[in-house]
Chains A and B, each alone.
Chain A
Amino acid sequence: EDKVVQSPLSLVVHEGDTVTLNCSYEVTNFRSLLWYKQEKKAPTFLFMLTSSGIEKKSGRLSSILDKKELFSILNITATQTGDSAVYLCAISGYSGAGSYQLTFGKGTKLSVIP
C-alpha cells in the first residue's frame, strides 16, 4: 500500500522567513509526486515532479524530488501571510487496475504571522 508522510505537521513562522516542508513516501511503482496548497477549500495544484534532482520553481516556491531516498521538499522563500495554508504532498503510482489515484499525506499546516 502506498504511503506518504509529511513533516512537520504544523509550522508557525514570521513573514519573510524561509520554510522547508518535507514529504517522504513509499510506493510500489512510482509515477509522479505532486504538491498542492489547500486553504479553506479544495486543493490547488502547485507542482508535479517525475524525475529525480530536477527542481521545479514558481516564484517564491520551489520543489525537488529525490527518487533514490524517496522524499521531496517544498521550499517557500520570503514567506507572506497569503502563504498560510495546508500544503499537501501526494503520490501517484502505477496499479494493476490502471488507476491514477493519488495517495495524500496529512499535510503541513503553515501559519505565517506578520
Chain B
Amino acid sequence: DTGVSQDPRHKITKRGQNVTFRCDPISEHNRLYWYRQTLGQGPEFLTYFQNEAQLEKSRLLSDRFSAERPKGSFSTLEIQRTEQGDSAMYLCASSLGLGLETQYFGPGTRLLVL
C-alpha cells in the first residue's frame, strides 16, 4: 500500500499522560500536514512541514503539542499532559510539493482522553 499511513489507529489515555502519534507520508511527497477533527466538524489545520522544516503552526497548537519530521520522511506529533479536550481524530496528509496540489489523507489516529 503506497498511501499515507498512521500509527496507532486508536489511542485511549488518561488525562495528564503524554501520547505520540506517527505519520508516514506517500514516499515522494515532501509536504506533510497535521489536522485535528472533532465530531461534526471539518478537519482543522495544526501544522505543516516542507521536508524537515516546520513552516507553519496554527494557534490551535498549544505549547503542549509538538511535531517533528527529523529526516523529511515520517513525522511525529506529541501531546504532553493530555486533557479531555484533546480527544479528537488526528489526521495526517501529504502532498507532492510542486505548486497546486492535492493533499492525500491517512486513516487518522483517534484519541480518547479519559
Binding site for B on A (CB under 8 A): 4, 31-32, 34, 36, 41-45, 48, 50, 88, 90, 95, 97-107
| Known contacts A32-B100, A42-B91, A43-B105: A99-B42 contact under CB 8 Å | no
| Known contacts A42-B91, A43-B43: A101-B102 contact under CB 8 Å | no
Q: Is the CB of B48 within 8 A of A48?
A: no
A28 to B24, CA, bound (A): 31
Given A4-B42, A41-B108, 17 further pairs, Cβ under 8 A: A41-B107, A42-B107, A45-B103, A45-B104, A48-B102, A50-B100, A98-B56, A100-B33, A100-B95, A101-B56, A101-B58, A102-B43, A102-B45, A103-B45, A105-B42, A106-B40, A106-B41
B31 at the interface (CB under 8 A from A): yes
Q: Which residues of A contact B101 (CB under 8 A)?
A: 100
A99 to B50, CA, bound (A): 9
Bin the interface of chain B by size.
20 to 34
Q: Which residues of A contact B4 (CB under 8 A)?
A: 42
Q: List 19 A-B contacts (CB under 8 A).
A: A32-B100, A34-B103, A41-B108, A42-B91, A42-B107, A43-B105, A44-B105, A45-B102, A48-B100, A97-B55, A98-B55, A99-B48, A99-B55, A100-B31, A101-B48, A101-B56, A104-B44, A106-B40, A107-B42
